[in-house]
Amino acid sequence: MPYFAAVFLVPAALVCGLIAFKQGRKGLGGIGVLLAAIGLVGIIYVSQEINRVLKDPFAPNSLGASEPPVVTLADYEQILEGMTYEQVRTIIGASGEELSRSDLGGYMTVMYSWSNGNGSNMSVMFQNGALLNKAQFGLR
- The verdict on 79 and 114 lying in the same domain is yes
Q: What CATH number should be reported for the domain holding residue 85?
A: 3.30.1450.10
The H or E element containing residue 135 is strand 130-137
Report the Cα 39 to chain-centroid distance in Å.
Answer: 25
- The verdict on 50 and 82 lying in the same domain is no
The per-residue pLDDT for range 38-96, each reduced to its tens digit, is 888 888 888 887 787 777 766 665 555 557 889 999 999 999 999 999 999 999 999 99
Look at residue 100 and tell me if it is in a domain. yes
Residues paired with 97 in a beta bridge:
113
Q: At what angle do helices 26-55 and 3-22 cross, to 10 degrees?
A: 160
Predicted pLDDT of residue 121: 95
Question: Could you please report the per-residue DSSP string of 104-134?
Answer: ETTEEEEEEEEE-TTS-EEEEEEETTEEEEE
- The verdict on 83 and 51 lying in the same domain is no
- What is the residue range of 16's domain? 3-55
